[in-house]
């Protein structure tokens, strides 16, 4: 059975951040979850989840092509992605955010990729 992309606690925090964003507040939260492809160079640092349907996540997206940017992605789409060796997207169980999302964005744009 594949590993879930978020824990229930992470999902609660993502939805809480998403609710604040949904009412138009400009926030700079700590990323809640780090997802990655173990056999490719894609990383998603997710900070919020749209409370309307709970599938659209917002955060820093790095597809490994040197252009990390803020954006949205559907968790259901990520669950279907596999890398070149057929390994699925995984949740970094040991990820602990050290900076607000804006700092990860700044560093990723400076370096051309998410570094952590």
Total domains in the fold of the chain:
1
Is 3 within a domain?
no
Containing domain of residue 106, as a range?
8-111
- Residue-wise pLDDT for 63-102, tens only, equals 988 899 999 999 999 999 888 899 999 999 999 999 999 9
Binning pLDDT at 50, 70 and 90, where does residue 4 land? confident
Is 76 within a domain?
yes
Is 1 within a domain?
no
The Cα angle at residue 46 between residues 8 and 15, in degrees rounded to 5: 45
Is 2 within a domain?
no
Averaged confidence pLDDT in the chain: 93
d(CA 77, CA 66): 22
Binning pLDDT at 50, 70 and 90, where does residue 1 land? very low
d(CA 102, CA 47): 11
Is 116 within a domain?
no
- Residue-wise pLDDT for 49-61, tens only, equals 999 989 999 999 9
């Amino acid at each position: 059975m594949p590993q879930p992309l978020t824990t229930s606690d992470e999902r609660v925090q993502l939805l809480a951040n998403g609710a604040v964003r949904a009412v138009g507040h400009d926030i700079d939260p700590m990323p809640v979850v780090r997802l990655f492809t173990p056999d490719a160079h894609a990383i998603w640092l997710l900070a919020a989840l749209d409370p309307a349907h709970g599938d659209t996540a917002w955060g820093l997206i790095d597809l490994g092509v040197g252009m990390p940017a803020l954006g949205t992605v559907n968790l259901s789409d990520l669950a279907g992605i596999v890398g070149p060796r057929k390994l699925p997207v995984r949740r970094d169980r040991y990820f602990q955010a050290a900076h607000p999302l804006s700092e990860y964005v700044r560093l990723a744009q400076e370096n051309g990729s998410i570094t952590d």
